[in-house]
Amino acid sequence: MPDRTDSDSRKLLGRLRDTMAEEAAGQERLDKITHLIADSLGCEVCSVYLFRDSETLELCATEGLNAASVHQTRLRLGEGLVGRVARLNKIINTADAPSEPGFRYMAETGEEIYPSFLGVPIQRLGEKLGVLVIQSKVAREFSSDETYALEVVAMVLAEMAELGAFVGEGAALKALHQQPTMFRGGTAQEGAARGHVWLHEPRVVVTNLVSEDPESEKIRLNTAVEQLRSSVDDMLENVKSGDKEQLEVLEAYRMFANSRGWMRRIETDIVNGLSAEAAVEKEQSSARARLSQVSDAYMRDRLNDLDDLSNRLLRILTGQGRETGAEMPADPILIARNIGPAELLDYGRSLRGIVLEEGSVGSHATIVARALAIPLVIHAANITTEALNGDAILVDGEQGIVHLRPDETVANAFNDKIAMEAKAQERYGAIRGVETVTKDGQRIELVMNAGLMADLPSLENSGAEGVGLFRTELQFLVRNQMPGRSELSALYGRVMDAAGDKRVVFRTLDIGSDKVLPYMPHVKEPNPALGWRAIRVGLDKPGVLRMQLQALIRAARGRNLSIMFPFIAQPSEFDFAKAEVDKALAREIRLGHVVPEDLEVGAMLETPSLAYASEQFFEKVDFLSIGGNDLKQFFFAADRENELVRKRYDTLNSGFMTFLELIKEKCVRTNTKLSFCGEDAGRPIEAAALAAIGITTLSMRPASIGPVKNMLLNADLSKIKSAIDSARSNGDETTRHAVIEALKH
């Protein structure tokens, strides 16, 4: 890479800057640019290809090729050398183009074949915009100076394209970020939403691309980097020493902020004519291009760190903070790469929908989105690059599909869907106060899962008869530090107040596996789902469990209390946990505090082992609740967090139904109260099947109560039970078809 003041790129950028300053329509400007690149670099051909749509490149301006082929010649992504540059996002530099793999002669350009070819991707922060090409008659490879110069120009072109510099009178080009675009992601919270884009982290716009004064740009860069370093140091200071993971991340940040290689590359770009911010962004773009090709998780994390750091630096340099002055639309759909649970709670119910590039079904953000019943689509690749604040957007949480800037047909179809959903909601509203009694007269109890204060209004709105599972860990997950006993006690008290006479089952802390507390030491385990989690942590390090039990007893202020231990795999674990409850009670009595009038202590059945525990154990517990999410993952040995296997096995699989029935029968024999609180309880068909085999208390997300009740009111459970039995005796792998048929009659 050249490091001299009068490099090719410097001269070229100087001329480019003059062209940019001239008043000109988009096409005229592009024509001038191709002319001056060819002229400055002394080659016969310079052409700019831009994407018409995500699959098609179009020749948009050329110096040297047949002018009539402009806007006529088109290539598919991956077609010919130009298409390959775009697809691979890599430079192709060859002295013998025809012998390169993928070469295609474009006869319509009317030109002879130029043996020398240099193609450079035009991309901005990983978004592919086009390809810049120079060609020459003399068979030679282009020098590293020339390649570098072309790269820098491509970067400037990308920025100009972003700013709409090529759109205007006479130009056949479309502006960027205006086409309807569909994203196919994964579903994390169902529901359909219509609204306008609100970017969690707005894009930084770089308007000042080229500079004639590298020295002052270097000073600007160094000042900004100093500011960045000291802010990272401040963050490091503020992290508690025990917080290993956060420390690691920040140390990596600091390493990058101090990395001489990174700084050297940026400074070279400045010397060669870019402004400080354009140089930072150029480095960021190459890092993103690398990111797209890296599969190693550790490396990806590091490149992501670098990306975040570049963003911070850009914000300092351009003075564009997170606050852009833009106003949040009235119907915001939040777009982010990822988001933390606390940040999401800050937005609260104002959001109509959420779309994330990353995220996972079990992430904390997902938990919060579910509690708030906000449709959430995850894994929508590149949406933060494509979407602009204020763009119209439709989110289909059922299918995991997002339509950005939808055309009329899509928007109309979507409106129908929303109208249908609203009708269904009306129907559910009308049956809210109705008792759930099936057609054949069986009474089913529908209760809800909760965990955040945001859930409490749902107790009233959904018609839930109580809280079957209060996930206490959510309060721990959305905080940056461990909550104290009195804080917890006040909070549990408010939950009980809101519930009034309704029963609330508080599950003690269920952390580990996918639920990691940022402020507690995190142990790296080979198989976290099978690891040190839930009650195992509670028994080995009982401090938090004891604090929680005390907080619960105090919050009850003499009222009835239900406590449930998660992930009990063998009876002795329950015994040890129950002993902690007894100790806490004794202590409270000693202190002269009131204790609950009636205290129930139960266990979650989440491992197959517990189904085979002794009948004495079943008699001993006050109640059992089947944690179907975990139980199913262990029954089928299929990780609930792994998209590759998550949906592979049907809950209504004949074997699994038989297993659930075995648990139910044991509970009947031992007179043990039983409920089911996994996600499946909230799916109407699954709920009907569970009720049919005799599990008559179902705990689910509040939003599921309406649809499940609606289904059960019209279901004949005895018919469903016979259908399940005959599917099993027929040897069917799943009872699903039989259940669906029985529900139709």
**How many residues bind Mg ion, per CB under 5 A?**
3
Site membership for ligand PEP, residue 706 (CB under 6 A): no
How many other CB atoms are found less than 10 A from the CB of residue 730? Answer: 10
How many other CB atoms are found less than 10 A from the CB of residue 408? Answer: 8
**How many residues bind ligand PEP, per CB under 6 A?**
10
Site membership for ligand PEP, residue 639 (CB under 6 A): no
Q: How far is the CB of 145 from ligand PEP (least distance, A)?
A: 59
Site membership for ligand PEP, residue 538 (CB under 6 A): no
Site membership for ligand PEP, residue 708 (CB under 6 A): no
Q: How far is the CB of 358 from ligand PEP (least distance, A)?
A: 21
Q: Which long-range contacts (CB under 8 A, 24 or more apart) does 295-304 make?
A: 302/252
Nearer to ligand PEP, 280 or 677 (CB): 677
Choose one: 491-499, 623-631, 699-707, 724-732; the region binding Mg ion (CB under 5 A): 623-631
Nearer to Mg ion, 103 or 532 (CB): 532
Angstrom distances, CA of residue 362 to CA of 370, 376, 380, 395, 416: 11, 12, 16, 20, 30
Site membership for ligand PEP, residue 627 (CB under 6 A): yes
Torsion sign, CA atoms 15, 20, 21, 27: positive
Q: Which does 471 bind (CB under 5 to 8 A by kind): ligand PEP, Mg ion, none?
A: ligand PEP
Q: Using CA atoms, how far apart are residues 312 and 515, in angstroms rounded to an integer?
A: 28
Q: CB–CB of 509/538 below 8 Å?
A: yes
Contact pick of 26, 627, 682, 707 for Mg ion (by CB under 5 A): 627
576-615 positions binding ligand PEP, by CB under 6 A: 606
What is residue 105's three-state secondary structure? coil
Choose one: 162-170, 316-324, 569-577, 624-632; the region binding Mg ion (CB under 5 A): 624-632
Enter the DSSP assignment of 72.
T
Site membership for ligand PEP, residue 628 (CB under 6 A): yes
Choose one: 155-163, 236-244, 481-489, 623-631; the region binding ligand PEP (CB under 6 A): 623-631
Choose one: 62-70, 205-213, 276-284, 625-633; the region binding ligand PEP (CB under 6 A): 625-633
Contact pick of 307, 386, 630, 686 for Mg ion (by CB under 5 A): 630
Q: How far is the CB of 553 from Mg ion (least distance, A)?
A: 24
Catalytic residues: 364, 677
Nearest to 227 by CA among 300, 319, 143: 319
Choose one: 412-420, 459-467, 568-576, 627-635; the region binding ligand PEP (CB under 6 A): 627-635
Residue that the structure tokens 């068979």 belong to: 139
Q: Work out the end-to-end distance of the chain between its first and last CA atoms, rounded to an integer number of angstroms.
A: 75
Site membership for ligand PEP, residue 630 (CB under 6 A): yes
Nearer to Mg ion, 606 or 716 (CB): 606
Contact pick of 338, 350, 389, 629 for ligand PEP (by CB under 6 A): 629
Q: CB–CB of 175/164 below 8 Å?
A: yes
Site membership for ligand PEP, residue 678 (CB under 6 A): yes
Q: CB–CB of 306/241 below 8 Å?
A: no
Please state whether beta strands 623-626 and 673-676 pair in parallel, antiparallel, or not at all (unpaired).
parallel
Q: How far is the CB of 297 from ligand PEP (least distance, A)?
A: 23
Site membership for ligand PEP, residue 677 (CB under 6 A): yes
Enter the DSSP assignment of 167.
-
Nearer to ligand PEP, 217 or 680 (CB): 680
Q: Using CA atoms, how far apart are residues 536 and 496, in angstroms rounded to an integer?
A: 27
- Provide the edge-to-edge strand list for the sheet that holds 56-63: 74-76, 56-63, 45-53, 127-136, 116-124, 92-94
67-126 positions binding ligand PEP, by CB under 6 A: none
Nearer to ligand PEP, 281 or 606 (CB): 606
Nearest to 225 by CA among 321, 320, 322, 316: 316
Torsion sign, CA atoms 204, 205, 207, 210: positive
Nearer to Mg ion, 160 or 535 (CB): 535
Which two three-digit tokens encode residue 313?
């630096």
- Please give the distance of CA 175 from its chain centroid, rounded to a whole number: 28
Q: Any idea what the Cα angle at residue 195 is, between residues 190 and 201, rounded to 5°?
A: 90
Enter the DSSP assignment of 46.
E
Choose one: 168-176, 228-236, 487-495, 624-632; the region binding ligand PEP (CB under 6 A): 624-632
Q: How far is the CB of 530 from ligand PEP (least distance, A)?
A: 13
Residue that the structure tokens 């790469």 belong to: 337
Contact pick of 31, 267, 396, 510 for ligand PEP (by CB under 6 A): 510
Site membership for ligand PEP, residue 471 (CB under 6 A): yes
Q: Using CA atoms, how far apart are residues 462 and 400, in angstroms rounded to an integer?
A: 25
Q: How far is the CB of 412 from Mg ion (least distance, A)?
A: 42
Question: CB-based burial of residue 714 (10 Å sphere; 0-12 exposed, 13-18 middle, 19+ buried)?
Answer: exposed
Q: Using CA atoms, how far apart are residues 215 and 219, in angstroms rounded to an integer?
A: 6
Q: Which does 465 bind (CB under 5 to 8 A by kind): Mg ion, ligand PEP, none?
A: none
Q: How far is the CB of 681 from Mg ion (least distance, A)?
A: 13
Nearer to ligand PEP, 233 or 445 (CB): 445
Q: How far is the CB of 678 from Mg ion (least distance, A)?
A: 7
Nearer to ligand PEP, 473 or 661 (CB): 473
Site membership for ligand PEP, residue 528 (CB under 6 A): no
Residue that the structure tokens 């193609």 belong to: 119
Q: Using CA atoms, how far apart are residues 377 and 359, in angstroms rounded to an integer?
A: 9
Nearer to ligand PEP, 518 or 627 (CB): 627
Q: Using CA atoms, how far apart are residues 40 and 121, in angstroms rounded to an integer?
A: 20
Q: Using CA atoms, how far apart are residues 291 and 164, in angstroms rounded to an integer?
A: 27
Q: Using CA atoms, how far apart are residues 557 and 442, in angstroms rounded to an integer?
A: 35
Q: Using CA atoms, how far apart are residues 273 and 17, in angstroms rounded to an integer?
A: 10
Q: Give the x-and-dash track for 574-613 against Mg ion (CB under 5 A).
A: --------------------------------x-------
Q: How far is the CB of 606 from Mg ion (least distance, A)?
A: 5
Q: Which does 26 bind (CB under 5 to 8 A by kind): Mg ion, ligand PEP, none?
A: none
Q: How far is the CB of 677 from ligand PEP (least distance, A)?
A: 5
Q: Give the x-and-dash track for 243-262 against ligand PEP (CB under 6 A).
A: --------------------
The H or E element that residue 334 is part of is strand 332-336
Q: Using CA atoms, how far apart are residues 149 and 155, in angstroms rounded to an integer?
A: 10
Q: Which does 678 bind (CB under 5 to 8 A by kind): Mg ion, ligand PEP, none?
A: ligand PEP
Q: How far is the CB of 545 from ligand PEP (least distance, A)?
A: 17
What burial letters (b/e) apply to 390-401, b meaning 16+ CB within 10 Å?
ebbbbbbbeebb
Residues at the interface with Mg ion (CB under 5 A): 606, 627, 630
Residues at the interface with ligand PEP (CB under 6 A): 469, 471, 510, 606, 627-630, 677-678
